[in-house]
Amino acid sequence: MTIRVSYDDLKAQFKRVLLSRNVREEIAEECATVFADTTQAGAYSHGVNRFPRFIQQLENGDIVPEAVPTKVLSLGAIEQWDAHQAIGNLTAKKMMDRAMELASQNGIGVVALRNANHWMRGGSYGWQAAEKGYIGICWTNALAVMPPWGAKECRIGTNPLIVAVPTTPITMVDMSCSMYSYGMLEIHRLQGRQTFVDAGFDDEGNPTRDPATVEKNRRLMPMGFWKGSGLSIVLDMIATLLSNGESTAAVTEDKDDEYCVSQVFIAIEVDRLIDGKTKDEKLNRIMDYVRTAERADPEVAVRLPGHEFTQILADNKANGIPVDDTVWAKLQSL
């Protein structure tokens, strides 16, 4: 069953749990705010639902809350940073801020980060750039939790890729290289429903829409079949090279959990490439051309990626944030 929880109550629970784990007050405040913001924005799988897993990694020492990211190398518009296993979402926010600073100087800014922790909702950082008028691109490698195309054994990560464009409202693709992330599988299972398209393979190798089956056997279906598998591999390669950090193979084989991953943050300044009026005209023409296509179902609007989050955020601010009651009970017990 889904209940509605206020933003303040949700944030207070996050902060309470962090403080009880001896996280310093100002860090606990910032971290609780980011988790609450993520959940309120509609990314439940990487907000409140993911928080217990975050706390588990904090207790295990995989996350070092007092760690401060440091710059390792600077090559003009490209910088290499070491997260030192700091809190993932706070570090990612800082890295996209740094990418925008570099872009303001060079037109483009690229920050590659090693020894990072899970950044929770990757879309937050693309959105962060687009809100300030930049094109935001970022991705991360991850633990091997998906079989490459043609295999049964997990050897590649879901490696989420985000691309955000400063339209009104913001247009953003926030996608894992699998058809469904494990977080979205959890949401479907908790709501007692099948996925809308095949999410993975059952134990006999047949496509399945049952989220519990895929969660258990970990045979996720790559997005676009071999295309998603290939994209995952090259994103891992580029993040590993740019950051001089760990690959999916190294994280999976050398660590006891998902930490010390590699991430890339790119910001592109648009305003020096095109004047504001022309920019808006071109972007609006693209969006209008897409959304005025004849609908397959007259009752379902043509989708522009990321536009739904503006409505979701407004609804959650007005009516409270929907949280599964079992997730809420687990959070309160931490």
Active site residues: 46
In the block, tokens 């705010």 appear at 33
Which residues lie closer than 8 Å to 136 by C-beta, 6 or more apart?
Answer: 96, 99, 125, 126, 127, 128, 129, 130, 162, 163, 164, 265, 266, 267
Which residues lie closer than 8 Å to 275 by C-beta, 6 or more apart?
Answer: none
Cβ distance 91 to 125 under 8 Å?
Answer: no
Q: What is the DSSP string of 282-294?
A: HHHHHHHHHHTSP
Angle between helices 51-60 and 7-20 (to 10 degrees): 10
DSSP-derived pairing of the beta strands 200-201 and 70-75: unpaired
Distance CA 107, CA 134 (A): 10
Count the Cβ atoms, other than its own, within 10 Å of residue 16. Answer: 14
Count the Cβ atoms, other than its own, within 10 Å of residue 274. Answer: 13
305 vs 123, 132, 155, 251, CA distance in Å?
11, 19, 29, 31
Q: Identity (one letter) of the amino acid at 198?
A: D
Residue 51 DSSP SS3 = helix
What letter would DSSP give residue 178?
Answer: B
Q: Identity (one letter) of the amino acid at 123?
A: G
**What's the number of CA atoms in the CB half-sphere (13 Å) around residue 202?**
6
